[in-house]
Amino acid sequence: MYINLSHYHKEYNRKNTKNKFKEIRMKRIVLLSVVASTMIMAGGDITPVEPVVETHAAVAPSTFGIFNNIHAKGEIRPRYEFVDASDNGKGDANALTNRLTLGVGADLLQIDGLSVYLEATNVSGSGDYWSLSNDDIAQKPLYQVVADPDQTRISQAYIDYKFGDTLIRAGRQGVNLDNQRFIGTVNWRQMPQTYDAAAIINNSIENLNLLGAYVWQVNTIFDDNTVKPVGDNFKTDTVLLHAAYTFMPELTLTGYGYLVEDIHDTWGIAATGKINAGPGKLSYRAEYATQVDPSFGSHGGADANYYNIEGTYNMSGFLLGARYEVLEAGNGGNPAFSTPLATLHGQNGWADMFLGTPADGLVDANGMIGYKSKGFGLAKVVYHDFSSDNGSTDYGTEVDALYKNKIPGVKGLSGMLKAAWYNADAFSVDTTKFWVMLDYKF
């Protein structure tokens, strides 16, 4: 039930009919996936965008006057996480955490196109780790961090109105734009990041997808009991603008503007597509963005650029990928290029060493090999070389490995093994992380 703009745009191009919204209905609209960074994103694909939820487990043709066609869904996601950060004097983290999500949606007031959705999420855990919460502050000097504090909240609560080629959504929602480099739901962590927002999406012009949203609160993965300044929910006056036009399967041009109060304005353009190349297919993304002083608020300042070029070649399931990404150091004493609302896990290594851009900027040159098929699932290994943009400082290197697949015999159940090994040079310390996770959606 997230707005996953990338997925929505694919559905529009595939169906491309005047009655598209009625065919897709709410269960496939996953439009502005304002809330999720799916497991593929969690796995850190070179081009990691997939829908979070596409089906509902139960549909009851209700006869209530207010609510009709009531449908429900849920998710149970237990995970074991191990963290070893050498030389910081703390013990290894061994955390067992779980996400429980229950959601219900319905058509409203028997008005065509009007619907509502409500979702609650609980995160609970046990083990030896510090969750960055004041509730377990005694663990801080003893163990490494696993950023999944115990909490329960209404994770989504919104109303939709669909008419023609337009969708209007207002309320608490998840938003995932493109590869979630700038706007995402941080779905890798157990509590997703959501947005209190009003959004409008329009596809009246063939092959053109337009989005505009106003955000008045960001609900981060933490709650108000989190140790400052890590950050909990915060009020904001933020505007999201996004336009994508598909010329052909080989080329989609996307332009965007993300105006975040008191931080910066980000303006960018990206070219994406899939090209037949010999016996396989090449998926690519080429992108440029710049950050300037914020349009809203009285604080903040920015003057930095962003460059990204990446490609993945798929030949009968065998994968070969490469990516070169630059987040520049700031000019004139301003901070380095940053993406505070992104799904950061999966962008610059799964060890999460670069959740904030270093003052001298960040250059991430990485390569990937892997294999995926319907029965086998997905396996891949990624190698990162991290360095500074300003100067020639070698930050370190990282090796990431992943295997995930559906578990036979239980519909909606999948499993994942994942690991990250960061080898520090001039930035932070050697760090090893390992995960075992089950994900059951119903």
Return d(Cα 247, Cα 226) in angstroms, integer. 46
- pLDDT per position as a tens digit, 231-275: 678 999 999 999 999 999 999 999 999 999 999 999 999 999 999
Whole-number Cα distances in Å, 224 to 59, 340, 352: 36, 18, 23
User: Cβ distance 87 to 429 under 8 Å?
Assistant: yes
Displacement of CA 359 from its chain's centroid (Å): 24
- Looking at the chain, how many residues does it have? 442
Extract the residue ranges of the chain whose pLDDT is less than 70.
1, 5-64, 229-231
Return d(Cα 432, Cα 83) in angstroms, integer. 6
Return d(Cα 26, Cα 42) in angstroms, integer. 24
Q: What DSSP string runs through 325-372?
A: EEEPPPSTTPPPP--TTS--TTTS-TT-TTSS--TT-EEEEEEEEEEE
pLDDT at residue 33 in the model: 34
Whole-number Cα distances in Å, 148 to 9, 33, 49, 437: 32, 21, 23, 14
Q: And the tokens for 338? A: 């940053």
pLDDT at residue 39 in the model: 31
Query: CB atoms < 10 A from the CB of 92, how many?
Result: 14
Q: Can you tell me which residue has the tokens 């969708």?
A: 167
Q: And the tokens for 68? A: 């009709």
Whole-number Cα distances in Å, 213 to 128, 195, 198, 216, 267: 41, 10, 6, 10, 15
Strand, coil or helix: 110: coil
- Supply the CATH number for residue 82's domain: 2.40.160.10
Pairing of the two strands 280-292 and 264-277:
antiparallel
- pLDDT per position as a tens digit, 147-180: 999 999 999 999 999 999 999 999 999 999 999 9
pLDDT at residue 381 in the model: 99
User: Cβ distance 128 to 91 under 8 Å?
Assistant: yes
User: Cβ distance 338 to 289 under 8 Å?
Assistant: no
Question: In which domain, by residue range, is 313 found?
Answer: 3-441
Count structural domains, the chain: 1
**DSSP character at residue 242:** E
**DSSP character at residue 192:** P
What's the pTM? 0.86
